[in-house]
């Protein structure tokens, strides 16, 4: 009821305004000397409630400045401009310069009596992002047809600091294409014409953009994309679908609406550590990518003398947050080596990985799962705990994706460490099924270090981890 009343009021007000404008226009026709527009420049201070309302009703001009009487033989130039007064220096300076430019270019455009009309809307999203949108037109007084020289201009700023942002500040530059694709898909289907929003200027995109709680809402004025686009076009891109396109700066500003960037592990939810021995190999990167796609990270227990061949892979997966664990330099059975020999086997891998990634290794994955007192002592001395497994998929033996899949799926439980080898294509195919399904079952895929850390247990050297329950 209240809404109806408001709509009704707006309707009445619009009619009154139209009548006023019409009367002024009519006057012009009667008396060609008098301008159609009452020339004034109004600075308007929006109230807080107005700042949160995109449609402003500006009823009380604070400052009225009338253009000087023109000489009789000079063309009259009239302007009716509304601009907000916000007490934010940077925004106001930019707005003022924009208005001066528009006045100057409109005056240059016409050799006869002419007018410039500018109005604006203002809203503040989430108490942080202010958006001012100017719209208007200039025209000769002899032919007052809005539409020939339309003006659209937006200012986006920080509501407290007044810092002004460009469209480029909002988007992650290398992810722009994703944003364009999102817009193109919706617009193309609405107007039945293939369009390419990448052809639009940043100014146009900024003007169209509205921040909403649901996502970025682009409202493109008529004719933005095609002559036959007679109506506004609205495209809502939900935050979830474009979170990767948002710059770090705006990710912080819009934090309440975006999924947390980076991985969040919930210690109260089930988790498992998938571990891959004997690599790196040509499958390592694929497994890492797949895990990342599902928000997980895994552990690669590498053999040192393979690292040079897969140097880039090792660096990439480590940078992406997967863990590298120590599976000896030459895959020697540690329990048949002396303390010093075993130490050298482990130390060499740690040195190599540290040289490439800047990270030391936290876990020893004993070759063949064999552990003796010497190795426990070494684990203590090197401060690297031992990690075996609760689930052995025996993928090296079966080399069968189905068998590997079932070996894992039938026994795995919360807190388990699962053993695979990233040397086999069959293992990769099993993983292609396992990662989505385990994730769907609610398991968080974590690294060995994360598994121990989030179990709440303190790390124990010399201890053989198989699970954390
Ligand atoms: Zn091995």
- In tens, the pLDDT along 178-190 reads 999 999 988 888 8
Range with the largest mean pLDDT of 219-233, 239-253, 361-375, 451-465: 361-375
Q: Is the pLDDT of residue 67 over 50?
A: no
Q: Please provide the CATH number assigned to the domain covering 34-165.
A: 3.30.565
Instruction: Assign 227 a pLDDT band (cuts: 50, 70, 90).
Output: confident
Of the chain, the percentage scoring pLDDT greater than 90 comes to 50
Q: How far is the CA of 331 from the centre of ligand 1 (A)?
A: 6
Structure tokens at 90: 């940077």
Bigger pLDDT: 93 or 54? 93
What b/e readout covers 269-286, taking b as 16+ CB neighbours within 10 angstroms? eebbbbbbbbbbbebbbb
Taking the model in full, what pTM does it have?
A: 0.51
pLDDT (0 to 100) of residue 113: 78
Centre of ligand 1 from the C-alpha of residue 278, in Å: 5
Higher pLDDT, 61 or 355: 355
Two tokens, residue 194: 């293939």
Distance between the two ends of the chain, CA-based, in angstroms? 60
Cα 455 to Cα 154, 271, 428, distances in angstroms: 51, 9, 28
CA 68 / ligand 1 centre spacing (Å): 89
The answer to whether the CB of 363 falls within 8 A of the CB of 386 is yes
**How many angstroms separate the alpha carbon of residue 388 from the centre of ligand 1?**
11
Give yes or no for residue 66 having a pLDDT over 80.
no
Residue 346 CA to ligand 1 centre (angstroms): 13
Highest mean predicted confidence (pLDDT) among 25-34, 426-435, 451-460: 426-435
Rounded to the nearest angstrom, the distance between the alpha carbon of 410 and the centre of ligand 1 is: 23
76 has pLDDT over 50: yes
Band (pLDDT 50/70/90 cuts) for residue 258 is confident
Residue 8: CB atoms within 10 Å: 10
Higher-confidence position of 145 and 93: 93
Distance 382 CA to ligand 1 centre (A): 20
Average pLDDT over residues 266-274: 95
How far, in Å, is the centroid of ligand 1 from the Cα of 231? Answer: 65
Residue 429 alpha carbon to ligand 1 centre in Å = 20
Q: Quick one: pLDDT at residue 393?
A: 97
The domains of the chain are located at: 34-165, 169-253, 271-465
Average pLDDT, the chain: 84
Dist. CA 302 → ligand 1 center (Å)? 8
Which pLDDT value is given to residue 13?
63
Tokens of 200: 């639009």
Angle between helical axes of 373-382 and 339-357 (0-180°, round to 10) = 40
In the CATH scheme, what architecture does the domain 169-253 have?
Alpha-Beta Complex (3.90)
Best-predicted range by mean pLDDT (16-20, 183-187, 239-243, 279-283): 279-283
Q: What is the CA radius of gyration of the chain?
A: 33
58-63: long-range contacts (C-beta < 8 A, 24 or more apart)? 58/82, 58/119
How far is C-alpha 100 from the chain's CA centre? 35
Distance between CA atoms of 387 and 384, rounded to whole angstroms?
9
pLDDT of residue 281: 97
> Which pair of tokens denotes residue 171?
């988007």
Mean pLDDT of the region 362-391 = 96
Q: Give the distance (Å) from ligand 1 centre to CA of residue 400.
A: 18
CA of 287 to the centre of ligand 1 (A): 17
pLDDT at residue 36, as a whole number = 35
φ, ψ of residue 11 in degrees (nearest 5): -60, -50
419 vs 338: CA distance, rounded Å:
26
Residue 454 has pLDDT above 60, yes or no: yes
- Residue 12: is its pLDDT beyond 80? no
Q: Are strands 149-158 and 164-165 parallel, antiparallel or unpaired?
A: antiparallel
Task: Say if residue 71's pLDDT is above 60.
Answer: no
Cα(420) to centroid(ligand 1), Å = 9
Cross-strand bridge partners of residue 380: none
- Give dist(CA 242, CA 250) in Å, integer: 12
Cα(291) to centroid of ligand 1, in Å? 21
| Overall average pLDDT of the 24-43 stretch | 39
Report how far ligand 1's centroid is from the alpha carbon of 23 (Å).
90
Secondary structure string (H, E, C) spanning the chain: CHHHHHHHHHHHHHHHHHHHHHHHHHHHHHCCCCCCCCCEEEEECCCHHHHCCCCCCCCCCCCCCCCCCCCCCCCCEEEEEEEECCCCHHHHHHHHHHHHHHHHHHHHHCCCCEEEEEEEEEEEECCCEEEEEEEEEEEECCCCCCCCEEEEEEEEEECCCCCEECHHHHECHHHHHHHHHHHHHHHHHHHCCCCCHHHCCHHHHHHHEEECCCEEEEEECCCCCCCCCCCCEEEEEEHHHHHHHECHHHHHHCCCCCCCCCCCCCCCCCEEEEEEECCCCCCHHHHHHHHHHCCCCCEEEECHHHCHHHHHHHHHHHHCCCEEEECCCCCCCHHHCCHHHHHHHHHHHHHHHHHHHCCCCCCECCHHHCCCHHHHHHHHHHCCCEECCCEECCHHHHCCHHHHHHHHHCCCCCCEEEEEECCCHHHHHHHHHHHHHHHHCCCEECCHHHHHHHHCCCCCCCCEECECC
How close is the Cα of 422 to the center of ligand 1, in Å?
A: 10
Q: How remote is the CA of residue 447 from the centroid of ligand 1, in Å?
A: 18
In this prediction, residues 328-357 reach a mean pLDDT of 95
- What spacing in Å lies between the alpha carbon of 319 and ligand 1's midpoint? 23
Cα(251)–Cα(321) distance, integer angstroms:
21
Alpha carbon of 280 to ligand 1 centroid (Å):
11
The model's confidence at residue 139, banded by pLDDT at 50, 70 and 90, is: confident
For residue 327, the CA-to-ligand 1 centroid distance in Å is 7
What pLDDT does residue 124 have? 86
CA of 236 from ligand 1 middle (Å) equals 51
pLDDT at 7 over 60: yes
305 CA distance to ligand 1 centroid (A)? Answer: 13
Distance 389 CA to ligand 1 centre (A): 12
Which single residue is written with the structure tokens 């014409």?
193
> pLDDT band for position 28 (50/70/90)?
very low
Q: Among the listed ranges 180-194, 402-416, 440-454, which one has the minimum average pLDDT value?
A: 180-194
- Predicted confidence at residue 141, as pLDDT, reads 77
Find the 330 Cα to ligand 1 centroid distance in Å.
Answer: 10
Distance 367 CA to ligand 1 centre (A): 5
CATH architecture for the domain at 271-465? Alpha-Beta Barrel (3.20)
């Amino acid at each position: 009821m209240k809404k109806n009343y408001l709509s009704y009021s707006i309707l009445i007000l619009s009619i009154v305004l139209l009548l006023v404008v019409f009367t002024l226009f009519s006057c012009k026709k009667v008396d060609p000397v008098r301008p159609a527009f009452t020339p004034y420049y109004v600075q308007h201070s929006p109230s807080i409630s107005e700042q949160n309302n995109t449609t402003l009703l500006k009823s009380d001009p604070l400052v009225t400045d009338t253009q000087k009487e023109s000489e009789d033989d000079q063309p009259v130039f009239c302007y009716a401009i509304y601009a907000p007064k916000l007490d934010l220096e940077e925004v106001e300076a930019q707005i003022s310069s924009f208005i001066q430019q528009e006045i100057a270019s409109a005056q240059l455009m016409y050799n006869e009596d002419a007018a410039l009309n500018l109005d604006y809307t203002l809203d503040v999203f989430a108490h942080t992002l202010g958006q001012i949108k100017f719209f208007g037109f200039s025209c000769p007084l002899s032919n007052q047809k809005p539409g020939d020289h339309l003006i659209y201009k937006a200012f986006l700023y920080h509501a407290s600091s007044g810092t002004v942002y460009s469209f480029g500040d909002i988007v992650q530059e290398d992810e722009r294409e994703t944003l364009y694709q999102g817009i193109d898909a919706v617009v193309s289907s609405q107007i039945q014409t293939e369009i390419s929003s990448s052809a639009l200027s940043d100014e146009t995109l900024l003007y169209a953009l509205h921040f909403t709680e649901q996502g970025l809402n682009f409202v493109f004025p008529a004719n933005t994309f095609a002559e036959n686009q007679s109506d506004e076009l609205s495209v809502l891109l939900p935050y979830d679908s474009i979170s990767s396109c948002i710059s770090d700066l705006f990710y912080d500003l819009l934090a309440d609406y975006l999924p947390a960037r980076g991985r969040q592990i919930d210690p109260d939810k089930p988790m498992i550590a998938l571990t891959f021995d004997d690599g790196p190999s040509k499958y390592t990167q694929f497994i890492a990518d797949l895990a990342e796609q599902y928000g997980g990270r895994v552990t690669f227990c590498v053999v040192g003398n393979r690292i040079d061949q897969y140097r880039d892979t090792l660096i990439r997966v480590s940078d992406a947050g997967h863990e590298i664990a120590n599976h000896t330099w030459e895959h020697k059975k540690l329990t048949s080596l002396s303390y010093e020999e075993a130490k050298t086997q482990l130390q060499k891998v740690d040195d190599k990985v540290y040289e490439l990634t800047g990270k030391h290794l936290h876990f020893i994955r004993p070759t063949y799962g064999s552990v003796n007192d010497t190795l426990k002592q070494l684990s203590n001395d090197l401060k690297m705990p031992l990690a075996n497994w609760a689930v052995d998929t025996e993928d090296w033996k079966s080399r069968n994706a189905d068998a590997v899949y079932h070996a894992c799926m039938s026994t795995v439980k919360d807190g388990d460490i699962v053993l695979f080898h990233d040397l086999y294509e069959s293992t990769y195919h099993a993983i292609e099924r396992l990662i989505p399904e385990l994730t769907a079952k609610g398991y968080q895929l974590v690294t060995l270090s994360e598994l121990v850390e989030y179990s709440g247990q303190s790390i124990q050297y010399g201890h053989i981890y198989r699970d954390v329950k």
